[in-house]
Chain A
Amino acid sequence: MVVKVKNVVKRYDEKIALDHFNMEVREGEILGLLGPNGCGKTTAINCILSLLKFDKGEVQVFGRKMTPNSYDMKRQIGLVPQEVSVFENLTVKENIDYFCGLYIDDKNTRKKYAEEAIEFVGLKDYVKFYPKKLSGGLKRRLNIACGIVHKPKLIFLDEPTVAVDAQSRNFILEGIKKLNQEGSTIIYTTHYLEEAEMLCSRIVIMDNGKDIASGTIEELKAMITTSEKIVIRFINIEDEVINAMYRIPHVIDIERNGEDFIIKFENGINNLSNLLNFIAEHNLTYIKLYSQLPTLNDVFLELTGKELRD
């Protein structure tokens, strides 16, 4: 286990930021820490990295207790903070070289690593630029370069795609996959479901400072009762027919979303053919029909009673 967080409690006066929070990160995986804004994701990272003192619990990194003086362990760790954290008075190259210098003393190695990091984030044409001259997306790339330049084994990426354009976002996500393929273990916090689904091998869902569920995407989806959703738009349908639809096997709920109906099924087979038989029996006409597997949002909704997108 690369990271083990056990029952961590962190209070800010009366407010509980982390409430007996647990998390395990395995070597070589991309672990997504998923939760709405303000749920405690950054606090959790700061506690793991000893940037914050916590009130209770235990944190182990690389099998050892993490403290502010664990310098040998810190050599293996990289952090890409949520906010762009670079010197405005230094150029792209100087910033990367400075942050690399906090880990690596040898000048030649530092130069080599800095060049590789610049190449990796695609900032070769901007090395002499000052951060204020960079776009939001390019600043984010610089922020990432400063966090990974020393080639850490364990990388914390705290919402690295917030407020970036689609092009930079894809570039960043591809880069993270590449880092993982090169052997780095990654902890990725986000409130974007699509990113978590696309990128992460395992996910920890957080809400109000608690870990409410964890596992692979399939494992998380298996935790909820809804196993399939069918979206359909009818042409003229009466309320009694809608009520009759509850008699279709495995239907657990029917929601109306504008002109569409979302019919939720619990685990079962032939859900779509059962619905089509019902339509034929009642001579119903429809103009749209598709089947959906549950998303992480459904998982979050069912576990917390609220939408993650909120």
Chain B
Amino acid sequence: MTVFKYFLKIALKNKWIIIMYISIFFVMTLLNSTDAMKREETFVETRLNIGIIDKSNSELSSSLKDYLKQKNNIVDSREDEEYIKEQIFLEIADAVIIIPEDFDKRVINKEEAVLIYKDDRKPESIQIENQINKYLAFANITYANGQFTLDDVKEALNEGTEVRVLSNKGESENSRISTWFRYYYNFTGYVILAVYIAIIGIVMSDFRDEKIDNRRKISSKRFLEFNREIYLGQLTLATAVTSIFIIASILLMGRYFGDIYYTKYLVNLIVFSFSILCLTFLINNITRNKQIITTLSTVISLGTSFISGVMVPQELLGEKVLLVAKFFPVYYFVKINDAVINSLSEVRFELFMQVLFAVAFLLLGLMFSKKAQRA
């Protein structure tokens, strides 16, 4: 087992790369998880500053204005797009609503009834939109025989639902724990990608160096036996790296395992690790240039992690970005981590896709390997 022994020995000589990535990982995880733990999950309605330009002056539009005045502070505005945009930009108004002349008709026909200027990046924009939608929905329901029953609308809007919260502590705690695991395991995917490609690639480029490989070729070590020891070395190294993250999650948050579906993260990470090991096999059969390998390690790990939702949640990524991400196993890995499931069968497609990628990488790697042997 000399080859196996020296594979691990050379890998350990590059331990600083592993330590560096793991350190970055824990710093990033710590930052992100702290942020995630603190993230707002409750929503309290506050009074906003809004401007209203009523061009309809109908009974319905007056009723809407009254309703909005009840809940918000009214600021002066005028029908000038530049002026309105400036008011929003300078935060003089959180939103400006323009009620068109044919307002009543639009409400009856369920068309877009008002024009709202707002800053979509702010949660306030959702609040004002909700208030208007709520009013219009109720108004629409009361429309009968050519008129609105505005008293009913007012009554319905004033009606409150008594919600008695017995305890929301456990639920929000659970959600925080899930968020921590989601972030932790998503970032683990990024580090595994980077470390596998870099470390295994660097070690393999030493073993595949033409001069050194020629010495192996004229030796009495059988090719299959040599490869067996090399792949055993890769598997051992990969298992060791993946285990570090699993053990760390047990040490950090093991006490919460009962509150989450941990099997999902564990199985997903193992399948993903195998898929990335196969990707490493493919890369090592394409190039043995150390510089290219370290560049690929950075580009692939950062690139695919970003577009697949490791750094930014998949919900916030564009459709086209996600479409590209679907061609990488990281996308399916993140999707499983983000999913709320009770059984692995619910993510069988994502698991299957990762295995499919592993098989594809293996076959491509074998093809390149054969090609290199023939050359």
Residues of A within 8 A of B (CB): 49-51, 68, 71-72, 74-75, 77, 79, 81, 83-90, 94, 97-103, 105, 110, 146-147
Contact = CB atoms under 8 A, between A and B. Distances in A.
A283 B3 CA distance: 77
26 contacts: A50-B217, A51-B217, A51-B218, A72-B220, A77-B218, A79-B215, A79-B218, A81-B211, A81-B214, A83-B211, A84-B211, A85-B211, A85-B214, A87-B212, A89-B10, A89-B13, A89-B14, A89-B206, A94-B6, A98-B3, A102-B215, A102-B219, A102-B220, A103-B220, A105-B2, A146-B215
B206 A87 contact: yes
B71 interface: no
B214 A51 contact: yes
Contacts of A103: 219-221
Interface string B200-218: 0000001001011011111
A89 B218 CA distance: 22
B215 A81 contact: yes
B9 interface: yes
A256 to B, nearest CB: 46
Contacts of A50: 217-218
B105 to A, nearest CB: 79
Contacts of A105: 2
B215 A99 contact: yes
Nearest to B13: A89
Nearest to A105: B2
Given A90-B6, A90-B10, A94-B6, A85 B212 contact: yes
Interface of B: 2-3, 5-6, 9-10, 13-14, 206, 209, 211-212, 214-222
Contacts, number: 70
Nearest to B214: A51
A72 B217 CA distance: 13
Nearest to B213: A85
B214 A68 contact: no
B227 to A, nearest CB: 13
Nearest to B215: A85
B205 to A, nearest CB: 11
A150 to B, nearest CB: 8
B267 to A, nearest CB: 35
Contacts of B214: 51, 79, 81, 85
B2 A101 contact: yes
A89 B220 CA distance: 23
A103 B215 CA distance: 11
Nearest to A78: B218
Contacts of B2: 97-98, 100-102, 105, 110
Contacts of A94: 6, 9
A286 B61 CA distance: 130
A93 B212 CA distance: 16
A104 to B, nearest CB: 9
B360 to A, nearest CB: 30
Given A87-B206, A89-B10, A71 B211 contact: no
Nearest to B4: A101
A102 B1 CA distance: 9
A68 B217 contact: yes
Nearest to A49: B218
Contacts of A83: 211
Nearest to B211: A85
Contacts of A89: 10, 13-14, 206
Contacts of A71: 220-222
Nearest to B226: A102
Contacts of B6: 87, 90, 94, 98, 101
Contacts of B3: 98, 101-102
A75 B220 contact: yes
Residue of B211, B216, B218 with most chain A CB atoms under a 10 A cut-off:
B218
A216 B215 CA distance: 31
Given A51-B218, A102-B220, 15 more contacts: A51-B217, A72-B220, A77-B218, A86-B212, A87-B6, A90-B10, A90-B13, A94-B6, A97-B2, A100-B2, A101-B3, A102-B2, A102-B221, A105-B2, A147-B215
Nearest to B210: A85
Residue of A74, A97, A146 with most chain B CB atoms under a 10 A cut-off:
A74
A79 B2 CA distance: 19
Contact of B220 (A74, A84, A88): A74
Contacts of A85: 209, 211-212, 214-215
A177 B233 CA distance: 40
A88 B3 CA distance: 16
A100 B2 CA distance: 9
A95 to B, nearest CB: 9
Contact of A74 (B10, B14, B219): B219
A101 B215 CA distance: 12
A134 to B, nearest CB: 16
Contacts of B13: 89-90
Nearest to A86: B212
A97 B9 CA distance: 13
Residue of B5, B215, B217 with most chain A CB atoms under a 10 A cut-off:
B215
A124 B5 CA distance: 23
A90 to B, nearest CB: 7
Nearest to A107: B2
A85 B211 CA distance: 5
Nearest to A75: B220
Contacts of A99: 215, 219
B80 to A, nearest CB: 71
A103 B5 CA distance: 15
